[in-house]
């Protein structure tokens, strides 16, 4: 499927769009649109691409996207559950020209200005707006607007992670997005085997030199850095979701050399694979036992 500019269709008598998505998978390609977007994942997991950010997502993931910020969610393995999410999209003039300039909205305006790089909110913050997002879809028009503003004000006072790099330049040309989507799809389908630079460049009809320049300009990283980042994210999912031996995880994710796999894991995750799994399961056990481990517990 080709990447494209997405035309968000808003009802003529509504200032924004809100809906629940439900399908076998998240099938939207790498795309962009002039609207802001707030997306909450109800079920599903995989890889989330926002600007030059490549991260795993799962149930409970909450992301705010700025205008024209390229993005997509991709399922990377077969899942029994449907891919479900709640999505809210709105333009910057939702309250009329200059509406957000009023002092009542100073916190929201600051939040939206930061969202041009994409923001991911923590699990606690996401859980705090989950029901409000679900309910908003079926509310009356006036109540929907109030609910959205209340959510944005709440999120503006919350902690969040900025996703895309500060030097990311939004690429909105169709040809560029089409090539990026081909790269993402090819890597997702073939990362378990060795991918050669010549092979990858041919997928987007470019010479090796031109392809390398393209990756550095658009992805803001060399291709093989992007590839290893993708592989390590997949390794993290296997370490969390399965009891597969650490070494076998490396082989399954396409690493022929275990020392290289360990170095790459350390580079991206700042720990060894075994330590990563141990730390995750410790926090999971603590959470299941109802033990607070964050700042509030101290």
pLDDT tens-digit map of 259-287: 999 999 999 989 999 998 988 777 666 65
Q: Do domains 4-162 and 217-283 have the same CATH topology?
A: no
Q: Tell me: pLDDT of 42 over 70.
A: yes
Please return the burial class of 138, using the count of CB atoms within 10 Å of its CB with bins 0-12, 13-18 and 19+: exposed
- Write down the mean pLDDT value for the chain: 85
Give the model's pLDDT for residue 21. Answer: 93
Give 2's pLDDT tier (boundaries 50, 70, 90). Answer: very low
Confidence of residue 173 (pLDDT cuts 50, 70, 90): low
- Range with lowest mean pLDDT among 133-137, 153-157, 165-169: 165-169
- The percent of residues in the chain predicted with pLDDT above 90, rounded, is 51
Q: Is it true that domain 4-162 has CATH number 1.10.1060.10?
A: no
Residues 6+ apart with CB under 8 A from 227: 187, 191, 195
pTM for the predicted model, two decimal places: 0.67
Mapped onto helix, strand or coil, the DSSP state of residue 63 is strand
pLDDT at residue 185 is higher than 60? yes
User: What confidence category does residue 27 fall into, taking pLDDT thresholds of 50, 70 and 90?
Assistant: confident
217-283: which CATH architecture?
A: Orthogonal Bundle (1.10)
The Cα-based distances of 102 to 95, 106, 107, 131, 148 in angstroms read: 10, 7, 10, 28, 17
Cα end-to-end span (Å), the chain: 50
Which pLDDT belongs to residue 81? Answer: 81
Q: Where are the domains of the chain?
A: 4-162, 217-283
Distances (CA, A) of 28 to 8, 31, 37, 48, 249: 13, 8, 14, 12, 28
């Amino acid at each position: 499927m080709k990447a494209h500019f997405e035309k968000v269709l808003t009802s003529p008598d509504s200032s924004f769009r809100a809906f629940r998505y439900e399908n076998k998978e998240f099938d939207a390609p790498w795309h962009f649109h002039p609207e802001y977007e707030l997306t909450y994942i109800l079920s599903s997991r995989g890889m989330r691409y926002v600007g030059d950010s490549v991260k795993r997502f799962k149930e409970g993931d909450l992301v705010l996207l700025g205008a024209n910020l390229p993005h997509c969610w991709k399922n990377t393995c077969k899942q029994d559950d449907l891919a479900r999410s709640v999505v809210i999209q709105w333009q910057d003039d939702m309250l009329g020209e200059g509406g957000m300039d009023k002092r009542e909205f100073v916190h929201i305006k600051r939040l939206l200005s930061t969202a041009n790089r994409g923001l991911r909110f923590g699990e606690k913050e996401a859980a705090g707006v989950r029901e409000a997002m679900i309910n908003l879809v079926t509310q009356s028009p006036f109540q929907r607007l109030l609910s959205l503003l209340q959510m944005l004000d709440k999120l503006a006072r919350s902690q969040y992670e900025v996703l895309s790099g500060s030097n990311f330049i939004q690429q909105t040309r169709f040809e560029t997005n089409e090539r990026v989507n081909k790269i993402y799809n090819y890597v997702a389908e073939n990362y378990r085997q060795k991918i050669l630079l010549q092979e990858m460049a041919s997928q987007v009809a470019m010479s090796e030199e031109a392809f390398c320049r393209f990756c550095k300009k658009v992805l803001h990283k060399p291709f093989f850095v992007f590839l290893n980042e993708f592989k390590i994210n997949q390794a993290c999912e296997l370490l969390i979701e399965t009891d597969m031996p650490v070494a076998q995880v490396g082989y399954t994710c396409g690493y022929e050399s275990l020392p290289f796999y360990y170095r790459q894991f350390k580079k991206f995750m700042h720990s060894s694979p075994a330590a990563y799994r141990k730390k995750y399961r410790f926090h999971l056990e603590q959470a299941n036992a109802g033990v607070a481990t964050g700042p509030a517990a101290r």
